[in-house]
Amino acid sequence: MAQARLDRKEQITGWVFIAPALVLLGLFMIYPIVWSLWMSFQVGKGMNLSFGGFANILRLTKDAVFLRALGNTFTFFIFQVPIMIVLALLFAVALNDSTLKFRGFFRTAIFLPCATSLIAYSTVFKSMFAIDGVVNQTLMELHLISAPISWLGDPFWAKVLIIMAITWRWTGYNMIFYLAALQNIDRSIYEAARIDGVPAWARFRYLTIPMLKPVILFTTVISTIGTLQLFDEVYNFSAGTGGPSDSTLTLSLYIYNLTFKFMPSFGYSATVSWVIVVLVGILSFLQFMVARDRRTS
């Protein structure tokens, strides 16, 4: 009896302690999520909303701009995430080598971009990649190109620029995860492999990568989510348009435009938001399936 009363008291105390956090979480997380799901079934402009059932989902399939944004987002995801993950892995392995000089400097230099101000770096990138910017000038002087590239004006190069920018910004961030994981690997595993005559490439392929698999999966999922939500860079580089001619328009930027730029269409933008949620869910699930340990251990 006394024990039951004590248990109950402990339960109540516990709930009281987490109540403030729960209330805030409910108010600012759960309520908006549920509300946005409800919103996604509303049609109409501005505040003039009415229940439209699956009308918004139907509209998605016919909306050329949405399909464009979806395509662009996928392009960024398919090219940028693998490039960045591989780069981060290579940097991490290189910078984990204890014989390398100035390791601390390189680690800091590669990590620094993700700590810099978004506006500052976007501005610098825009000036560097302008028609008469330093990048074009350098490429011209090296005779790699004969005419300056319109990085911001050409649909193809605009995409390339976005990919370069987010890769530059987030590679160091992912590298830190790999470095931390690499430092947790017992050094004698590599020494044993060296004595056993396992070549360097095989040590990387058959030892490092499998041992880093959980971290690789984690960074891939995190990067996927980040890329599907890509907004900042495209907004800054295209002055909010997603241009040239929607070639860098992403789902997030489209949601922003639907809500705040055009005649507000809250219901429809909520539907597009939920498209991102579903995509993140599907892609993360696929990644977990691919990385799953096939051994029945």
Partner 1 sequence: MSSLKLTDVHKTYGKLEVIKGVNLEIQSKEFVVFVGPSGCGKSTLLRMIAGLEHITSGDLEIGGVRMNDVDPSKRGIAMVFQSYALYPHMTVRENMGFALRFAGVAKDQIAKQVNEAARILALEPLLDRLPKQLSGGQRQRVAIGRAIVRNPEVFLFDEPLSNLDAELRVHMRIEIARLHKELQTTIIYVTHDQVEAMTLADTIVVLRDGIIEQVGKPLDLYDNPANLFVAGFIGSPKMNFMAGVVTASGHGAVTVELTNQGKAQVILPLSGPAPAVGAEVTVGVRPEHFQPAGSGGSEITVGIDVAEHLGSTSYIYANTKSGEQIIIEREESRHELGTDTITVAIDPARTFLFSAKGERLR
Q: Which residues of the shown chain bind partner 1 in the complex (CB under 8 A)?
A: 186, 188-189, 191-199, 202, 206-207, 210-211, 213, 295, 297
Beta carbon nearer to partner 1, 32 or 210: 210
Beta carbon nearer to partner 1, 7 or 191: 191
Cα separation values, 27 from 13, 40, 275, Å: 22, 19, 23
Beta carbon nearer to partner 1, 64 or 201: 201
Q: Supply the DSSP string of the chain, one letter for each residue.
A: -HHHHHHHHHHHHHHHHHHHHHHHHIIIIIHHHHHHHHHTTEESSTT--EE-TTHHHHHHHH-HHHHHHHHHHHHHHHHHHHHHHHHHHHHHHHHT-TT-TTHHHHHHHHHGGGGS-HHHHHHHHHHHTSTTSHHHHHHHHTTS-SS---TTTSHHHHHHHHHHHHHHHHHHHHHHHHHHHHHTS-HHHHHHHHHTT--HHHIIIIIIHHHHHHHHHHHHHHHHHHHHT--HHHHHHTTTS--STTTT--HHHHHHIIIIISS--HHHHHHHHHHHHHHHHHHHHHHHHHHS--S--
Beta carbon nearer to partner 1, 20 or 197: 197
| Distance in Å, CB of 169 to partner 1, minimum | 32
| Distance in Å, CB of 213 to partner 1, minimum | 8
| Distance in Å, CB of 168 to partner 1, minimum | 32
| Distance in Å, CB of 80 to partner 1, minimum | 28
Residues making up the chain, counted from first to last: 297
Beta carbon nearer to partner 1, 14 or 210: 210
| Distance in Å, CB of 202 to partner 1, minimum | 6
| Distance in Å, CB of 220 to partner 1, minimum | 18
CA angle 153, 154, 159 (to 5 degrees): 105
Beta carbon nearer to partner 1, 38 or 206: 206
| Distance in Å, CB of 87 to partner 1, minimum | 24
Across-strand partners of 208?
A: none
Beta carbon nearer to partner 1, 82 or 210: 210
